[in-house]
A = this chain, B = another copy of it.
Amino acid sequence: MSERELRRNLAILPIGTIRELTLLTDRQIRYYEQNELISPTRGKGGQRRFSLNDVDRLLEIKDFLDAGDSIKDIQEIFAKQRRKAVGKQDSESALRRSLQKEFAQIGRFDR
């Protein structure tokens, strides 16, 4: 994972900021968490900490709901996205492995 992706996944934002950035209510944000559409971490005192990715995801949720999708629909959409991402990851690591083989091959020429 790139440094940029790491940064986007840093859970550093309190719910108040999320409320302002997404124009959702606390109630909505917590309800979506309850339905596992987002998974903010918790700070020392038990308060939620969100990442910039959570912001994106909440804006997506908003759009889907506006478009008439239900929470369950959105759960499935996200599940599909995850499955796709896993495939990508797999094919990437396969690619990396085959590249390593190639380089190992090439490396031999250098001896």
Interface residues of A (CB under 8 A from B): 12-14, 16-17, 20-21, 43, 49, 106, 109-110
Contacts and interface: CB of A to CB of B under 8 A. Distances in A.
A49 B14 CA distance: 11
Contacts of A21: 12, 109
12 contacts: A12-B13, A12-B17, A12-B20, A13-B13, A13-B17, A14-B14, A14-B16, A14-B17, A16-B43, A17-B49, A20-B106, A21-B109
A14 to B, nearest CB: 5
Nearest to A110: B20
A24 to B, nearest CB: 12
Nearest to A18: B12
